[in-house]
Amino acid sequence: MQKALILSGGGARGAFQVGVMKYLQEIGWEPDLICGTSVGAINAAAMGSGMTIDLMARLWRTYRRKKMFRVTLPTLFGSLRSRKRFAPMSDTGPLKKLIETSINLDALRSSPREILISTLNMRTGQIVYFNQRTITHRHLMAASAIPGLFGWEYIDGAPYWDAGMMVNTPLAPALKLGAREIVVILHSPVGAFPVKEPKTALEVAELVFEHFLIGSYTCSLPDGPWQLPLNAGPHPSPLPDSPQLQLSDSKAHIMTVAPTRMLGFRSLLNFSLRQADILMAEGYNNARIQLKPHLNKLRRNHS
């Protein structure tokens, strides 16, 4: 495994990834592995199914929020008033139809790339990755099932939903599979650049949320903050085969692409044409600026 592309979750911010992927395609950087969470899982499956970047961009520019999920007064009140059985706050029928008509499963299963999408088993609290040989439209709905807003999906009798709350940036599989060049696409400057201290309650809440999203990434880095001093004694893992205790010898070159500005809460569900165009343009330009020095250095080292 040589190259891996990691696609974070982030709702409508996923348009940023399309811009980055366009740049990577133009320079001939082709990943052997694509691993995604939430909207990143859908983008990963789309790319794995052979969908062109131009078509992905067209879909992002075409589908507004109401064409993917609808929050109506009956569904909202039904969810809030439900006491015996949970009812999601939105109708995701349009999103299901979009996935079923856009993602070619036969093409995905024959993809020469390894495609992994993350899901969260609600009963066990464990992250489960599915590859292109097992992914169905139901798996993609599960991977993008935002808790509360969307309903969960049953796979082999177990309920699954969006893994973003635990592994929003699924870096660990790429490290465990031995990828040497890894491009990580983040949906926030937090985790990639220093940010200003918040001044208002809203800015505090936003920064807390962004730290929540970036936590799985920073804690999975080979030299991440979870590491113990070399002279420390044994440290018990809370789960068997915890990846945090297996990645310290990684020789991967990890490169990140991220927005240079805070995008705000509203950007998560803002599927407007304007935001899609802005984020795709920023993704392309930021990738060109942020990745070019690292990729040029790698090429010089390999020559």
- Give the pLDDT confidence of 7-30 residue by residue, as tens digits: 999 999 999 999 999 999 999 999
| 43-52, 135-144, 223-232: segment of lowest average pLDDT | 223-232
Could you tell me the pLDDT band of residue 230, with boundaries at 50, 70 and 90? very low
Radius of gyration of the chain (CA): 19
Which residue would you say has higher pLDDT here, 209 or 283? 283
- Average pLDDT of the chain is 84
Which residue would you say has higher pLDDT here, 22 or 212? 22
Sequence-distant contacts of 119-125: CB under 8 A, at least 24 apart: 119/143, 119/155, 119/160, 119/161, 119/162, 119/163, 120/160, 120/161, 120/162, 120/163, 120/165, 120/166, 120/167, 121/158, 121/159, 121/160, 122/152, 122/158, 122/159, 122/160, 122/161, 123/158, 123/159, 125/166
Average pLDDT over residues 283-301: 88
Average pLDDT over residues 250-269: 89
pLDDT given for residue 243 in this prediction: 37
Average pLDDT over residues 127-139: 95
Average pLDDT over residues 218-240: 53
Which residue would you say has higher pLDDT here, 175 or 87? 175
Is the pLDDT reported for residue 32 higher than 90? yes
What are the two backbone dihedrals, phi and then psi, of residue 270, each rounded to the nearest 5 degrees? Answer: -95, 90
pLDDT given for residue 232 in this prediction: 44
Which residue would you say has higher pLDDT here, 23 or 227? 23
Amino acid at 153: E
- Give the pLDDT confidence of 82-108 residue by residue, as tens digits: 666 666 566 777 788 889 999 999 999
Residues sharing a CB contact under 8 Å with residue 96, sequence separation 6 or more, in sequence order: 137, 141
User: Taking the model in full, what pTM does it have?
Assistant: 0.85
Average pLDDT over residues 217-244: 52
Residues sharing a CB contact under 8 Å with residue 19, sequence separation 6 or more, in sequence order: 279, 280, 281, 282, 283, 284, 285, 286, 287
pLDDT given for residue 67 in this prediction: 62
pLDDT given for residue 188 in this prediction: 93
| 26-40, 152-166, 223-237, 260-274: segment of lowest average pLDDT | 223-237
| 6-20, 41-55, 142-156, 227-241: segment of lowest average pLDDT | 227-241
Q: Are 131 and 143 in contact (CB under 8 A)?
A: no
pLDDT given for residue 148 in this prediction: 78
| 64-68, 134-138, 253-257: segment of lowest average pLDDT | 64-68
Is the pLDDT reported for residue 125 higher than 70? yes
Average pLDDT over residues 246-275: 84
